[in-house]
Amino acid sequence: MKVRIEIDTHTFVRFWLVVIGFGLAGLAIYSARTALVIIGAAAFLALALSNPVAKLADKMPGKSRIGATAAAFVLIVAFLGTFIALIVPPIIEQTAKVADNVPTLIDSAQENWHLADEFVKRYGLESQVDSALNSAKENATSWAANIGSSFVSSLGSLFNTVAAIFLALVLTFLMLVEGPTWLRKLWGVYTDEDKMEYHQRLARRMHMVVTGYVTGQIAVSGIGALCAGLMVFILHFFFPAVPMNLALPTVAIAFIFSLIPMFGATIAGVLITALLAFNNVTAAIVFVVFFVVYQQIENNFVSPTIQAKTVELSALAVLVAVTIGLYVFGLAGGIISIPIAGCIKVLLEDHFQQTKKARKKSDKPLHKLVKKLQEEA
């Protein structure tokens, strides 16, 4: 038995126009992903700072929101400037120290080369070693020839990053200043009072998810960074080769990377261990032991206590959100992926709840009778 389905031209054209429209929309979003990350980061910061700015505005003369926002930004910029001024010199010092140690390592390798030379001659590996050395020399030559272009491209990337951060801060400032006005205009569009209150409750729930997550994550990262810096400071007294000022870069690295959920702290631990290993291997091993123990304490006690139930996402949902955020939008996407996933969870829960209420209401006989009478009328 054959079934013949006829589709008119109008339906066929509309179907493919919808498919093409979705494809073009996806392409446009992917092409504008950098701009969307900047706008999303600005909105994320604006939501996180909205409550402190509102409280500060209440204490300002004339309750000026512009003045409160400007004061908050001055405090943030001053903090970041002081932070960078304290951290950059030790990082430069450590970089120079590593560069100074490279010739020593090469000399040590040359002194011990005779042991490897005997091994090569015994097993007839001269041709393989010569080939590897020639390849290394060629790669070194090409790397040296490309130093200039690499330096220029690095400067370009740095400039783009600084410009993006500056643009995000400007957008955040404008969002904080104009946000209440836009919200009043948005709520003023509603004619149904009950629907407006329902949407306001939903918006407040999502706002609580974002602000709660930001506050909690900053607190967790700050505690972890301070503990890591204190550990490096203590290691200086047991291993004098570890410089005392290495504690500040440790705090910065641990704080910034710990903002990335799940595996950001691990990246920070690896980087700090590498810095310590250039000064003292034993100190690096001690720090690894401390880091593993502290991560267990943080994951089981510190983070659950501080974060409480702000997001309420499963481990699978968190991993999926972070993976998508990192691979699509980079480091910033990985940081803001969790609160975005939390907001989506709020919307889905509300949708399912409303659907369940509507289904229960439709199952009631009286409701069916009223609906039937309304249709007949």
Does residue 327 surpass a pLDDT of 50? yes
Stretch 192-200: mean pLDDT = 85
| Per-residue pLDDT at 293 | 92
For 334, list phi and psi in degrees, rounded to 5. -65, -35
| Per-residue pLDDT at 357 | 77
Stretch 30-51: mean pLDDT = 79
> Is residue 42 domain-resident?
yes
Tokens encoding 243: 């410089």
Q: Name the percent of the chain lying above pLDDT 90.
A: 5
Domain count, the chain: 1
pLDDT tens digits for range 271-294: 888 888 878 888 889 999 999 999
59-73, 115-129, 205-219, 231-245, range with greatest mean pLDDT: 231-245
Tokens encoding 88: 């950059």
> Is residue 171 domain-resident?
yes
> Is residue 199 domain-resident?
no
**Burial readout 203-225 (b: 16 or more C-beta within 10 A, e: otherwise):** eeebbebbbbbbbbbeebbebbb
- Cα gap 163→168, rounded to integer Å: 9
Residue whose entry in the numeric block shows the structure tokens 């609160």: 339
Question: Cβ neighbours of residue 116 under 8 Å, at least 6 residues apart?
Answer: none
- Higher pLDDT: 376 or 255? It is 255
Least confident of 84-88, 204-208, 303-307, 308-312: 308-312
Q: Which residues form the domain of 49?
A: 33-123+154-189
> Is residue 367 domain-resident?
no
> Is residue 21 domain-resident?
no
Stretch 74-87: mean pLDDT = 76
Half-sphere exposure of 23 toward its Cβ, with a 13 Å CA cutoff?
6
- Cα gap 42→168, rounded to integer Å: 5
Question: At 163, is the pLDDT very low, low, confident or very high (cuts 50, 70, 90)?
Answer: confident
Question: At 231, is the pLDDT very low, low, confident or very high (cuts 50, 70, 90)?
Answer: very high
> Is residue 63 domain-resident?
yes
Does residue 151 surpass a pLDDT of 50? no
Asked whether 271 and 253 are in contact (CB, 8 A), the reply is: yes
- Higher pLDDT: 334 or 372? It is 334
| Per-residue pLDDT at 186 | 84
> Three-state DSSP class for 136?
helix
Stretch 184-197: mean pLDDT = 85
Stretch 11-33: mean pLDDT = 80
Least confident of 113-117, 229-233, 301-305: 113-117
| Per-residue pLDDT at 148 | 46
Asked whether 272 and 238 are in contact (CB, 8 A), the reply is: no
| Per-residue pLDDT at 109 | 52
Residue type, 128: Q
Stretch 264-275: mean pLDDT = 86
> Is residue 90 domain-resident?
yes
Asked whether 331 and 325 are in contact (CB, 8 A), the reply is: no
**Burial readout 127-144 (b: 16 or more C-beta within 10 A, e: otherwise):** eeeeeeeeeeeeeeeeee
Stretch 341-353: mean pLDDT = 85
Q: Name the percent of the chain lying above pLDDT 70.
A: 70
> Is residue 132 domain-resident?
no
Does residue 331 surpass a pLDDT of 90? no
Does residue 123 surpass a pLDDT of 70? no
